[in-house]
Amino acid sequence: MMLESARYEIVLYGRKLLESGLVTGTGGNLSIRSGRFAALSPSCVEYGLMKPEDVVVVDMDGRVQDGRLKPTSEMFLHLALYLSRPDITAVVHTHSPYACVMACLGREIPVFHYLVALAGRRIPVAPYACFGTPEFARSAAGSMGEGKAVLLANHGMVSVGRSLSEAFRIAENVEFAAMVYSRALALGEPRVLSEAEVDRVMDALKDYGSSVIMPEPLKEEDQ
């Protein structure tokens, strides 16, 4: 089975997404890139029932290399991010409630709380495009830039990382930030950190969680 360890990891984190409330039903999707290939969650399979053999392996042109099911309908999104960001090896796409609120408002999230900076100097909003299309994928990849998360207008959010655990953690933090920001906006205008303050936070975050051993990005695997 191609990319066997990646497929097991996708099953594990699919269940984490469901348990954390970041997705419901079969919504959202996730993937891991390994060299010239990517393992993607399948289309319309419940996370609690997903098995490693259900995960689909495609090449960077979207051709299925291994797997009996259809890959996620957001395959273009995942591949566009991998092609534009060679530094990442994992993508997580969710429809988490508060991220969706901010995405539907078309309001980016500034660094009003230091955890926002885990995703970059801001969490921008990608212009609307119909889900599952190349236009949607290009909008997300172009808007993310060098950050690690982007809100998808009238849709949800997507996060990236050097590992699936990092991309998942960022998705959790984006949802937390979106929740706090939306509630703060209901009471007033949240104070946003200055550029100098953001610089200091970004420097401090370089060692954030340094006591935690992060998994290394997966190496390219053969069949």
* DSSP code for 109: E
Partners of 157 in the β-ladder: 94, 151
Query: Residues 131, 141, 12, CA angle at the centre, nearest 5°?
Result: 70
Residues 49 and 147: their CA atoms lie apart, in Å, by: 32
Buried/exposed code over 130-139 (b: 16+ C-beta within 10 A; e: otherwise) = ebeeeebbbb
Contact 163, 90 (CB under 8 A): yes
Active-site residue identified among 4, 19, 46, 74: 74
Contact 68, 1 (CB under 8 A): no
Closest by Cα among 4, 7, 8, 9 to 163: 9
Number of H helices, E strands in the chain: 6, 10
In the residue annotation, 74 being an active-site residue is answered as yes
Tokens 């060679």 found at: 86
Residues 9 and 31: their CA atoms lie apart, in Å, by: 9
Residues 204 and 214: their CA atoms lie apart, in Å, by: 18
Contact 145, 71 (CB under 8 A): no
Task: List residues with catalytic annotation.
Answer: 74
